[in-house]
Structure 1
């Protein structure tokens, strides 16, 4: 791992893990020896990050100069906590990890009093029924949406029959118990909805449909609203 990437991972770990974080835990998070970790801590300190602690006591990020300070009302903090807490229940593993990292960054930018409010927020999310899990790697689908590149997809219908088709992915929609992919199907030459738990595999192609995604998504949503 490149040194810059390692330092970013270290600062992220200090933001999101409960303080003080032991050197053993930080070394495991960044994939380095403890000796290298101590050098990385000193590098971050030299760069302006205020990190309290020492070997044997654990470390606390008390001021993060890489992120500008933010202020939120208590209800705004509660709303952020509620929204991010929903992600692991609705999204895939990549989105859940991103929500955890985002939360750490948000908390790191708050004043001390608001950090305590965020860490002891009066809202919790519990789900006793899990939504249907996706089979394919949905992070590939989201990447293709943003990059506006076609995907070759293997899709299983309700009867279990599999078809291979090329699609132009437009957006993912999170419903009560499932995740739907909105796309243009090159096989059917029309818009289609695909259930994520029936997508067996997706492979990114070199075919680009940029810059048509925004307009196509707008047209498809307008058709859905008309009941078409």
Structure 2
């Protein structure tokens, strides 16, 4: 077990019991009592309100709870890597949101996890094979959330062009392409459109209500039935 994970589990154990001895913690994590003493000392230094002493036992101060962003090292690594992918492979608005989320996480992280924000063991390079899009992807996300229709000119892989009017349902990322999963009014069926092949995009002030057989949930059920 990584040390960061062990520190997290120590706090969880202290939350569940009134008093926990270093001996019992050492047995649980298959380590020495000296290691547990060091862990407790570091947690206290990170402002976790642990009370007690060696040879007696430890407890959390009454009323204390874990901060809402108390992550293990692996959990934090996944979040940071995911945020980097969003920053480098999505639209500008979502990239700024990912950056803001990382800043909020940084403000509440305990000292022993701060270094994870600067870790470079997992990286998502920017603009490598990225395909240009002629419109703001953030507006397409807004149309999906707001359930408003979109009209555009679409060029397929053979170069054939059609005019489409769709109900946008979700965005799918197949690196390096973004694809809009939609209900297409021209084909009267579900269709997937690569956003880099969508041109003259119009975001219409034309809302649509969820309708049986034409929703995102129906699309996923349809795909699962074919798999």
TM, length-normalised to structure 1:
0.61
Indicate conservation of the 8 Å contact 1:140/1:202, yes or no.
no
Q: Quote the residue 1:226 is aligned against.
A: 225
Aligned pairs for 1:152-167 within 5 A: 152-167=151-166
Q: Quote the residue 2:121 is aligned against.
A: 123
How far apart, in 2, do the equivalents of 1:107 and 1:194 lie? 37
How far apart, in 2, do the equivalents of 1:97 and 1:176 lie? 20
Aligned pairs for 1:130-145 within 5 A: 130-145=129-144
Q: Quote the residue 2:96 is aligned against.
A: 97
How far apart, in 2, do the equivalents of 1:225 and 1:209 lie? 25
Count of residue pairs brought into register by the alignment:
160
Deviations 1:2-55 (A, max 9, x none): xxxxxxxxxxxxxxxxxxxxxxxxxxxxxxxxxxxxxxxxxxxxxxxxxxxxxx
Indicate conservation of the 8 Å contact 1:173/1:179, yes or no.
yes
Shift of residue 99, structure 1, vs aligned partner: 1.3
Shift of residue 126, structure 1, vs aligned partner: 4.2
1:177–1:110 distance in 2 versus 1, CA, 3 Å: same
* Range that drifts further, 207-216 or 187-196: 207-216
How far apart, in 1, do the equivalents of 2:159 and 2:120 lie? 45
Runs of 4+ in 1 over 3 A off after TM superposition: 126-129, 159-162, 211-215
Shift of residue 161, structure 1, vs aligned partner: 4.0
Q: Quote the residue 2:200 is aligned against.
A: 201
Q: Secondary structure at the match of 2:215?
A: helix
Indicate conservation of the 8 Å contact 2:183/2:214, yes or no.
no
Unaligned runs of 5+ in 1: 1-67
Unaligned runs of 5+ in 2: 1-66
How far apart, in 1, do the equivalents of 2:72 and 2:213 lie? 34
Structure index of larger Rg: 2
Q: Secondary structure at the match of 2:100?
A: helix
Q: What do you get for the CA RMSD once the two structures are aligned? A: 2.6
TM, length-normalised to structure 2:
0.61
